Amino acid sequence: MEMPLPDPSVLSRRAAIVAGLRAILPGDAVIDDPAETRAYECDGLAAYRCAPLAAVLPRTTGEVAAVLAFCHRQGVPVVPRGAGTSLSGGAMPTADCVILGVARMNAVLETDYDNRFIRVQSGRTNLSVTGAVEAEGFFYAPDPSSQLACAIAGNVAMNSGGAHCLKYGVTTNNLLGVTLVQMDGTVVELGGPWAETAGLDLLGVVCGSEGQLGVVTEATLRILPKPEGARPVLVGYASNAVAGECVSDIIKAGILPVAIEFMDRPCIRACEAFAKAGYPDCEALLIIEVEGSPAEIDEQLTRIKAIALRHNPVELREAADEEQARRIWLGRKSAFGAMGQINDYMCLDGTIPVSALPHVLRRIGEMSAEFGLEVGNVFHAGDGNMHPLILFDANKPGDLERCEAFGAEILKLCVEVGGCLTGEHGVGIEKRDLMGVQFEAADMEAQMAVKDVFDPRWLLNPAKVFPLEISAGRRAG
């Protein structure tokens, strides 16, 4: 993965820059010892590493503004970092950058059950937002699978989704407002604890901008009353196409499950070997979850089961109690771990129209043979968000490159059938050079124009999202 060469004028001023940061922040908030900056050399895309010039861990919006204003004056690039769980390299440093981590900013600032929102500092983890309100019967809906570790700052930057977004939407549908610090240190409030903003929807474009428009230090999030209960049903099919038809029929019937998860045979086998969840050995497996009171759950599952049975499943299993529900989810939730037991893996997340599912899975199978690399698929089937997991051996020369080439072909296929490169992980550096597959020059120019307004010198997370050759002139400025 090509990254721009570090700016020698920044590297040569390293000591002065670190001293400048220490003048702004308390001593323990500036990290420049190479033994310690290594902790920031990569995020969840661990194949790529580069230690930053320094890392800072501010505690307040004021400190973030001071750091950014200083770096802006000094012409130092800044890479914002939530919890570092990005799978696309969104928090990957360059040698001339300052990593700005929000990990120490994790306070709850306000909870308002009457108006159904919570305001938090952005370093707070996703799951602990729900933790702060669940005693009152509320939860925060977006639930990326890294929710135990990932920070709200990163969720906003990547517009994170999760397994339950079929019903509740993704981050942008649950975000009411942010405090945003621009690269020059200007602090702006966008949105607030009301339903929508007047004027241009700047909040809407900040969400999902991968930390390139500003650093989000506080977020106002919509919280929802917890459903009375939930129950999954597991359905196995002898063919991917039939499983796909079943999903489509459920949606057409007007039933809205909170989640429809799909796993293919390689993934089912890996999960079974790893977690022993008792999954059937079949071509395709669906986990469908519905919510409500026990009677409401019965009403929905009766209809879902009737549709599922019309397609002749090899197995249909409804959870009779909590323990059985846990076992149905066990395999799915350990899918990544299970694949990781077999080998190193790369996780993609292209989205496709649900109708293209059988074709895409068949093509992935053919390409798997061509590239000589195994691939398992887990899939948020209700919304078409795929997660092919390509297995490779990081210690085998050439394997990573072959895996990346295979991954690129899968993503091109997603775009070709009417989908997109990434449904929830973001572009980062991983899919940066594929942007031209999905977008024309004018499409990317319009997006870059937004960054020109928020960060005219392109100092904030500059080498991400857009192919380096098209952002070159801007980054140099």
Partner 1 sequence: MRPASEAELSETIRGAGGPLRVVGGGTRGPGNLPGVALETGGLAGVRLYEPGALTLVAGAGTPLAEVEALLAGERQRLAFEVPDLRQLLGREGVSTLGGVAAANAGGPRRVQAGAARDSLIGLRFVDGAGHVVKNGGRVMKNVTGYDLVKLLAGSHGTLGVITEVSLKLQAMPEAETTLIAEGLDDATALTRLRAALGTPYDVSGAAHIGGRTLLRIEGLEGSVAYRAGALRSVLGGDWVLASRAESAALWRQVRDVAPFAGAAGAIWRLVVRPSAAAGIVAALPGARAVYDWGGGLIWLLTEARADVRAAVAGHGHAMLIRPLPGMTVPVFPAEAPAVAALSRGLRAKFDPRGILNAGVMG
Residue 16 near partner 1 by CB under 8 A:
no
Cβ neighbour number for residue 413 with a 10 Å cutoff: 18
Instruction: Tell me the CB-side half-sphere exposure of residue 400, using CA atoms within 13 A.
Output: 11
The sign one gets for the Cα dihedral 425, 430, 432, 436 is negative
Between strands 385-392 and 344-347, the pairing is: antiparallel
Q: Burial code of 117-132, b = ≥16 C-beta within 10 A, e = fewer?
A: bbbbbbbbbbbbbbeb
Residue 468 near partner 1 by CB under 8 A:
no
- The closest of 187, 162, 183, 175 to 60, measured between CA atoms, is 187
Residue 207 near partner 1 by CB under 8 A:
yes
Q: Distance between CA 332 and CA 327 in Å, rounded?
A: 9
Helix ranges restricted to H, 60-194: 61-74, 126-133, 152-158, 165-168
The interface with partner 1 within residues 145-204 (CB under 8 A) comprises 158-159, 161, 165, 169-170, 172-173, 182, 186-190, 192-204
Between strands 259-264 and 187-191, the pairing is: unpaired
CB of 8 to partner 1, least distance (A): 31
Residue 255 near partner 1 by CB under 8 A:
yes
CB of 427 to partner 1, least distance (A): 6
Name which of 170 and 319 has its Cβ closer to partner 1. 170
The interface with partner 1 within residues 426-465 (CB under 8 A) comprises 426-427, 431, 435, 438-440, 442-447, 449-454, 465
Q: Are the C-beta atoms of residues 425 and 362 closer than 8 Å to each other?
A: no
Name which of 51 and 360 has its Cβ closer to partner 1. 360
Q: Which span sits near partner 1 by CB under 8 A: 14-22, 61-69, 388-396, 420-428?
A: 420-428
CB of 180 to partner 1, least distance (A): 10
* Interaction pattern, residues 297-326, with partner 1; x per rule: CB under 8 A: --xx--x-----------------------
CB of 31 to partner 1, least distance (A): 30
The interface with partner 1 within residues 41-100 (CB under 8 A) comprises none
Q: Are the C-beta atoms of residues 208 and 254 closer than 8 Å to each other?
A: no
Q: Which span sits near partner 1 by CB under 8 A: 63-71, 96-104, 106-114, 275-283?
A: 106-114
Contacting partner 1 (CB under 8 A), which of 377, 385, 461, 471? Answer: 385
Residue 226 near partner 1 by CB under 8 A:
yes
**How many distinct helices (H) and strands (E) make up the chain?**
18, 18
Contacting partner 1 (CB under 8 A), which of 55, 420, 460, 463? Answer: 420
Distances from the Cα of 144 to the Cα of 32, 43, 155, 276, 335, angstroms = 32, 16, 8, 24, 14
* Interaction pattern, residues 335-374, with partner 1; x per rule: CB under 8 A: ----------------xxxxx-------------------
Name which of 173 and 324 has its Cβ closer to partner 1. 173
Q: Are the C-beta atoms of residues 29 and 55 closer than 8 Å to each other?
A: no
Name which of 263 and 373 has its Cβ closer to partner 1. 263
Name which of 176 and 271 has its Cβ closer to partner 1. 176
Distances from the Cα of 258 to the Cα of 109, 247, 337, angstroms = 29, 13, 24
Residue 192 has which token pair? 């607030």
Residue 386 has which token pair? 């795929």
Residue 114 near partner 1 by CB under 8 A:
yes
Q: Which span sits near partner 1 by CB under 8 A: 337-345, 395-403, 412-420, 467-475?
A: 412-420
Name which of 327 and 431 has its Cβ closer to partner 1. 431
The CA radius of gyration of the chain, in Å to the nearest whole number, is 23
